[in-house]
Amino acid sequence: MSELRGILVEQVERLVADAGGVAPLREVEAGTFPQALWDGLSEQGLALALVPEEAGGVGLSWGDAAALWQVLGKHGAPVPMAETMLGAALLSAAGVEVPDGVLALGEKGAPFGRHAAHAVKLDGARLTLHPVEGASPGANIGREPRDDLALGQRSAAGILPNSHGPRALRQGLALIRAAQIAGALERILALAVDWANTRKQFGRPIGKFQAVQQQLAAMAGEVAAVQVAVSNAARAVDARGLAEAGFEIGCAKVVAGEAATFGAATAHQVFAAIGITEDHELHHFTRRLWAWREEGGTDRAWAGEIGKLALARGGANLWPDLTARDA
């Protein structure tokens, strides 16, 4: 990790952690937008983090951004900052001025759409910005706002460069969710290890039982796989642009989806009854894992795309294709 990235991650982590652990997660479930957290992150310029410096942004790499999204995921940060970062990056790339505040991505089931003044839509290479005129509230299994929006006439429009491609929105969201999954998995692994060392049964910490150790070790492998897959995907975007990073993003979302399933199940098994309770923090992360594996394309959908491509290219090309993508 570069030094700059390390500092950024630390700053954001402090902001999110200072917001009060799971308290803001409960608040947002109750309908309150954690404005202070949003403002704090915005003051760091995060919303424009992926906008190039020459366009008035921070000019972070996608690798840096993915590291930040991982931190947001690690804390389940209940703000649409990752989505807004993506929206701003696309708007800027299409030559559209980025408005202040929350950006909603798309129209149906838009993350935190009720809190957005503007929404970004992509049709082919044509990116449009719309005022949000109404929101029919919904939620995913993570109890995060996912709203169907009523959008007004476009207030601005632009054409995304070829480097972004017609699926820039979906691919960007997939990478965001994969990174958040990596963070949330890291978190529940740490929580589970801590619990295993604390909770005693049969006169000793349950972490001394080999069955618990073996499960958590297997989970650690999954967590590592997701982290690497996410880094690899972000690096591919930096090297070749979103349009040409579909393979790596897809791989990341596939591995993230599989790991989310396995990791959530393992953590709950280790925590047993207490982990099932509303009062415990675990479910804020496991519910998000279950939700995020579905958003930005399921692991099934992405696997299908990757597999189709591999089948079309044939066995002799699989390895050369894989290595040819090295950055």
Partner 1 sequence: MRFDLPDTPPGAEALRAELRAFLAEASRAWTPEIRARSWMGFDRDFSREVGARGWIGMTWPMAYGGRERSGLERVVVLEEMLAAGAPVGAHWIGDRQSGPLILRLGTEEQRRRILPGIARGELAFCIGLSEPDAGSDLANLRTKAERVPGGWKLNGRKIWTTFAHKSDYMIALVRTSPAPEGGSRHAGLSQFLVDLTLSGISIRPIRDLAGADSFNEVTFDDVMLKEDDLVGQEGAGWAQATSELAFERSGPDRYLSSYPALSQGLDALAAHPVPGAEVTVGRMVARLSALRGMSLSVGGMLERGEDPAVEAALVKDVGNVFEQALPEHLRGLLDPEDSPAELRALLAALTQLTPTFSLRGGTREILRGIIARDMGLR
Q: Which residues would be at the binding site for a copy of itself (CB under 8 A)?
A: 209-211, 214
Q: Is 318 in the site for partner 1 (CB under 8 A)?
A: yes
Q: Are 178 and 144 contacting, i.e. CB atoms less than 8 angstroms apart? A: no
Q: Is 14 in the site for partner 1 (CB under 8 A)?
A: no
Q: Is 225 in the site for partner 1 (CB under 8 A)?
A: yes
Nearer to a copy of itself, 180 or 215 (CB): 215
From partner 1, a copy of itself, none, interface partner of 23 (C-beta below 5 to 8 A by class): none
- DSSP assignment of 225-239 equals HHHHHHHHHHHHHHH
Touching partner 1, residues 71-100 (CB under 8 A): none
How far separated are the first and last CA of the chain, in Å rounded? Answer: 16
- DSSP assignment of 10-36 equals HHHHHHHHHTTTTHHHHHHHTT---HH
Q: CA 39, 146, 125, 309 torsion: positive or negative?
A: positive
Nearer to partner 1, 153 or 312 (CB): 312
State the binding string over 174-193 for partner 1 (x if CB under 8 A, else -): ---------------x---x
Nearer to a copy of itself, 202 or 319 (CB): 202
CB of 213 to a copy of itself, least distance (A): 8
Helix (H, G, I), strand (E, B) or coil at 295: coil
User: Distances in Å between the alpha carbon of 167 and those of 31, 189, 300?
Assistant: 31, 33, 17
From a copy of itself, partner 1, none, interface partner of 222 (C-beta below 5 to 8 A by class): partner 1
CB of 35 to a copy of itself, least distance (A): 46
Residue 120, beta-bridge partner list? 105, 129
Residue selected from 64, 144, 147, 222 as contacting partner 1 according to rule CB under 8 A: 222
Tell me which residue of 182, 317, 319 sits closest to 260, measured CA to CA.
182
Q: Is 6 in the site for partner 1 (CB under 8 A)?
A: no
Nearer to a copy of itself, 153 or 210 (CB): 210
Q: Is 59 in the site for partner 1 (CB under 8 A)?
A: no
R_g over Cα of the chain: 20
